[in-house]
Structure 1
Amino acid sequence: MRDGHCLIAQSGGPTAVINNSLYGIIEEAIYTKSIKSVFGAVYGIQGLLQNEYVPLHTLSKEKRNALRYAPGAALGTWRYKVRDQDISTMVSNMMENEIRYFFYIGGNGSMFVANCIYEESLRRGYDLTVIGVPKSIDNDVMHTDHCPGFGSAAKFLATSVVDMHMDVRSMANSNRITLLETMGRDTGWLAASCSLVKNVNQGLPTLVFIPEAAFSREHFLKKVKEAYDDNGYCIAVISEGIKDSSGHLLSENRAKGDSVGRPQLGGVSSYLSELIEKETNLKARYVVPSIWQRSSMGISSDTDTKEALGVGKHAVRQAVEGKNGIMTTLLRKNDRPYEVTYSSVPLRDVAGGEKAVPVEWYDYDRCDMREPFQSYGLPLIQGENSVPMQGGLPVYQTL
């Protein structure tokens, strides 16, 4: 192994536990003999392009540890559509700074970029170890059982649904149809997680609609009306990326491109709320937690926190073993008792892929998730975290 500096970057949407992966990499790297110093790229791709690095090895143990309890990307992140010349610039900057180890924490798009950086370093004959570290609340990264970040977002959403049930069921003769819109893009993992509430209380019926099953307006209205008639209220969870039988986004006329050229999702719950009031005699409202579902460290999963830390540490250990051009992964060994192990997969196998919810896990007639999802999701939301508090409010470490 060649001696040199280590560089870490965070990319894409933050999660409640992304800084645990950052902490894990730092902790392993500063005690690795072949790594001289540890740096972080400021705002992810922006720092990689503009040669803006900050030292991380000089942080005190106290500050490093405090990162574990802070949501959001401590180094900063940036959504940007990378071009071929950008990859060349990033590698040139790393060569200039004698970066020999590069760890990229991110989702599908980030793994694509990481693979491009790896291939460019090979083309130039530059000895650079590139390791991807998965994170995604959407849980759509290929070849890993699940992604750090998902468990905490799932716990937050399922908790929110329980709280919503307790509120609306206590109101007499004034309940509306309540729609909860989740993130997730083209996959329904987050919406599906709201079905986990039935493992705590069977008396909290929740309709779930995911992109993997074609959405029918008629079926939706029928199930909402039935739930209202049976319970006096209805709570329905809508994934932002639901599509009709033709594969079109339900609110496609409202969709705009985001900074990397993808449809800008969101707003489907508003559309469906209007549809309910237009087609039935029921009143409807919608709740959009938006970025809150990925930033709530106060309702985060201890399992998720520990695994985010674990993939970070394992990434450095794999680098020490001579692995290169890979992404760390989580492999599930058991559901009960829950047990995982860490492994890896080539970056080229991850880049550009997308892991969907198995459609056989979804009960279309009942608008609910079947038992296999319950066994899959429940272990990921276990355990609670205590965040530092001051004056009754959380205090988070920043860089």
Structure 2
Amino acid sequence: MRKIAVGQAGGPTAVINASLVGLLDGLYETNTVYAVMNGYQGLVEDDMEPLEEHSLEWVQQHKLVPGACLGSGRYPFTNERMQQAVEQLKRRGIDTLVFIGGNGTMAALQRLSVLAEEMHYKLQVIGIPKTVDNDLSCTDHAPGFASAARYVAMTARDISKDLEAMRNFEQVRIIETMGRNAGWLALSSGYLKTCDCDGPHHIYVPERPLAASQFLSDVQSSVQAFGMATIVVSEGFTFEGTAQVEREVVQGRPVLGGIAAQMEAIVREQLGLTVRSENMGMHQRSAMYAVSEQDLHEAYEVGAKAAEYVTSGLSNRMVSIQRRDTIEYNYDLVPVPLEDVMREGERLLPDIFIEDPARYYTWLQPIVGEPVPAYPAMRRRSVRSS
């Protein structure tokens, strides 16, 4: 019987708990599993508790609940703290460490593995992918992203329809999405468009900085054509020659946010239009009503596959979703070295999708889940003669 420590790290997703349940369903009957509370902080401070029947049942009840039920958060995981974490694991005689997380988590797991070896402690390490930003490398996509993309597409369309009704009062809305340095989420906002008159009319991603003059021209052209302009912008987008807008710095980590408000000010000052900026906020990663059934299924599956890796003795691996080259959507779950994930770093939106959004939406369709009912296109009216 192995002793296994399990934790969640980084920003939650709507389906991160499903991955945890998938893992536990494959491990708890034949192993002792410890829940690591509040991510890496729990490792350092030895805040772990064995999952027994009542606590295991409580975790399983969270399969369809957003957030991270063990606690997650962000924690400065320095080398000194990593050493403390390994010492805590060694003191408890824990054989295996499994964490659910994104790029930072996979890099931390790889460093922990190396450090444990240097400390002459044999530790099996497994990573389970999650992120709403879809910037995790070595996988076709990560659980959590598809549900966030579904939410962003539905919300951007609804906000645009609301603006359509208010064109005699305001003309421009600028909607900011998550994504950090990658534009996957922002570009997904156009997934439900059926014609050019539908919003969003322009989407701006971090991979393509833009001149402020071009942005203003885009807004003007949409207002002239449709009487309004719905803009979606990723939080990591920049105007040419400028830096990313940071809301604040927490524990040394820049928190992006505010580009939409900056764009609002530019439109108001330069074009004199009535404009409003909005941030989609935490619902992007927590809206259970928008969860993709496929995303939920895959989240559970990667957890279950990680349990198989633990049982078979694999180590220093992340579960990866690899899409098959077939007409119908199919995929394999394969182990990839944590070292490769760490080395490749952030996975940005590729040029082929930026330049051909229709191709991106074809790629996105099978993971976004069941179809969303279409709206009728905006009615185009002729100009009245006086």
State the alpha-carbon separation in 2 of the partners of residues 135 and 62 from structure 1: 23
Aligned: 1:342 with 2:336: no
**2:297 match:** 306
Name the residue aligned to 1:215. 210
Partner-residue secondary structure (3-state), 1:192: helix
Give, as a single letter, the amino acid of the residue that structure 1 aligns with 2:288. Answer: M
Aligned AA (2:263): L
3-state SS of paired residue (2:324): strand
- Give 1:265's aligned amino acid: L
1:227 to 203, 222, 225: 222
The range that moved more, 323-332 or 347-356, is 347-356
Distance change (3 Å), C-alpha of 1:172 and 1:202: closer
The equivalent of 1:323 in structure 2 is 314
The answer as to 2:67 corresponding to 1:103 is no
Runs of 4+ off more than 3 Å: 59-65, 200-203
Within a 5 Å distance, the mapping from 1:194-205 to structure 2 comes to 194-198=189-193, 203-205=197-199
> Which residue pairs with 2:378 in the alignment?
none
1:250, CA displacement in angstroms? 4.7
State the alpha-carbon separation in 1 of the partners of residues 89 and 56 from structure 2. 26
For the Cα contact (< 8 Å) 1:38–1:56, is it kept in 2?
yes
For normalisation by structure 1, the TM-score amounts to 0.88
2:362 aligned residue:
375
Residues in 2 aligned to 1:216 and 1:380: alpha-carbon distance in whole angstroms: 34
SS of the residue corresponding to residue 117 of structure 1 reads: helix
Confirm or deny that 1:354 pairs with 2:338: no
**Conserved 8 A contact 1:335-1:375:** no
Name the CA shift for 1:50/1:128 in 2 (closer, same or farther; >3 Å).
same
RMSD: 1.8
Residue 338 of structure 1 aligns to a residue whose secondary structure is coil
Instruction: Kindly provide the amino acid, as one letter, of the partner of residue 195 in structure 1.
Output: G
User: Aligned partners of 1:374, 1:349: CA distance in 2, in Å?
Assistant: 28
Q: Distance in 2 between matches of 1:263 and 1:176?
A: 32
Alignment identity in percent?
31
Query: 1:201/1:338 Cα in 2 relative to 1: closer, same or farther (>3 Å)?
Result: farther
CA distance in 1, matches of 2:326, 2:216: 36
Secondary structure of the structure 2 residue equivalent to 1:148: coil
Residue correspondence of structure 1 range 250-269 to structure 2 within 5 A: 250-251=244-245, 256-259=248-251, 261-269=252-260
Name the SS of the counterpart of 1:133 in structure 2: strand
Tell me what 2:187 maps to: 192
Change over 3 Å in CA distance of 1:343–1:57 after alignment to 2: farther
* TM-score (normalised: structure 2): 0.91
Q: Does 1:83 align with 2:82?
A: no
Name the CA distance, whole Å, in 1 between partners of 2:225 and 2:22.
49
Distance of 1:284 and 1:13 partners within structure 2: 30
Unpaired runs of at least 5, structure 1:
364-368, 385-399
Distance 1:173 1:335 in 2: 49
Greater shift in the superposed pair: 56-65 or 309-318: 56-65
State the partner residue of 2:24: 26
* Preserved contact between residue 26 and residue 57 of structure 1 (Cα < 8 Å): no
Task: Give the 3-state SS of the residue equivalent to 2:174 in structure 1.
Answer: strand
**Deviation of residue 90 (structure 1)?**
0.7
Deviation string, structure 1 residues 79-105 (Cα, Å, up to 9, x no partner):
122111111111111111121121111
Deviation of the 1:115 alpha carbon:
0.7
